[in-house]
Structure 1
């Protein structure tokens, strides 16, 4: 077997070995009773990664397929690869490993999730530096947006802001908020110009959203800061929040964002009654 064929075979075998280690419950899937093999099925990996089953099957079979950096990124997230495993995956696929580039992780420390869950009446999310939504609480799903409805490979707040019509409707002053998010994202982008993932991501959004394409060209820069945000909830109507965000000390690649109803406002009482019923 020549080196090229061996490389593709090694890539397929590596992916098979990693999916065998992931429990369905770890990615929000039911265990089922008729699993003939341990771990995830091929179709589950394909679905969670946002790629076709046939195409993913060919990869595992060792066929000579060119894989984009975005697909590698999605596979690394779905299979919960650590930094060393992710570097190995990129190398096998003959891509430049994301050296120095923050690796995505689809899970948070249980204690951090506990903090989220105990913010009972405040919609809260955990984002990584790429604006991927890593975790959220019940208040966020009920009051803001149920991120669980979106495939994990597409669960990026910047992408959702510009391509999800349901999300757009709930954001009052959408244009202002969207432009502020672009400006905030650019502070991350500037440190990784030329990275395959980030360039592919930006080009995709520019092709999918004329607003993003136009506003990205403005080169505005802005840091997150405490501000007021207004949400148009389909049941509760207009809700006003204080928005604050905090870097997670145990992992500086993560940020906790919290929407807190303005004290004494009708939003505070509306949310409590809505979530407790």
Structure 2
């Protein structure tokens, strides 16, 4: 009789083998001088030795050897961080290392402002009939197209936390008034934000935003402790525009390749409610409410 094969166990074994192979490949590509070690004259193979990686990462040589052999050992997040540093992994490689180790990476916000590259900005501009914008790790709105400004208002008028999706959702009355299904939409948006916030827990900018939302919104204050989590979802959004009336969009978002934490959100007009024609009208007249400043939504 053949032994019972657990599919989950087999998957874990395969992941350990992939983890081991990835470690070896990253070790073998490094030149000793790149990490401050002498190249020497008696190296039979290229790259670092196992004991050198172990020394750089602050772990035992035997234990590191077991990792490269695919043994059933489980490195902590701290050890994975140390290995990533020792092996000079970039952001994508570091994330891959954590995935293979079956541990979620503890992400850190990069110093300086987030940047939306020119190709993404050109793509935004090309979406003439679809409101679209790019959000960052903390859901700050970083770039948008003319259609988004026509429907939701000019985000350039907002600064700091005010140009943040969660702030707009929970602390901007004009934005809230435009969302026909605000209670259900706000609840699921909060759950998606919490999932994205988890890797950055403790980050000062995140914590400051959350504190301000607790102070500004009774709903946020009530819902945040519930610990609800949701992945990024697609669906329909009904917009009650102050000038064009009811508009219906199909909403989806995509991770921006090569940019950690950035997502592209796109609103596609739905035939119901003559939304496409209304959007075209708004884009012909960018400011339909001159009597008062309409805050972006």
Normalised TM-score (structure 1) = 0.60
Q: Give the corresponding residue for 2:215.
A: 207
* Matched-pair contact (CA < 8 Å) for 2:114–2:136: no
Moved more, 148-157 or 213-222: 148-157
Q: Give the corresponding residue for 2:261.
A: 253
Bigger-Rg structure (1/2)? 2
Matched, 1:226 2:234: yes
How many residues align? The count is: 180
Q: Which runs of 5+ in 2 are unaligned?
A: 1-105, 286-297
Moved more, 100-109 or 118-127: 100-109
Q: Give the corresponding residue for 1:11.
A: none
Q: Give the corresponding residue for 2:204.
A: 196
C-alpha change, 1:194 and 1:142, in structure 2 (3 Å) is: same
* Matched-pair contact (CA < 8 Å) for 1:183–1:220: yes
Report matched runs for 1:53-202 at 5 Å: 100-103=108-111, 105=113, 107-202=115-210
Distance in 2 of aligned mates of 1:131 and 1:99: 15
**Deviations, residues 154-201 of structure 1 (Å, cap 9, x unaligned):** 311101211111111111111111111110111022222223332222
Moved over 3 A (4+): none
Normalised TM-score (structure 2) = 0.56
Distance in 1 of aligned mates of 2:230 and 2:207: 20
Distance in 1 of aligned mates of 2:272 and 2:207: 45
Give RMSD over aligned pairs: 2.0
* Matched-pair contact (CA < 8 Å) for 1:121–1:275: no
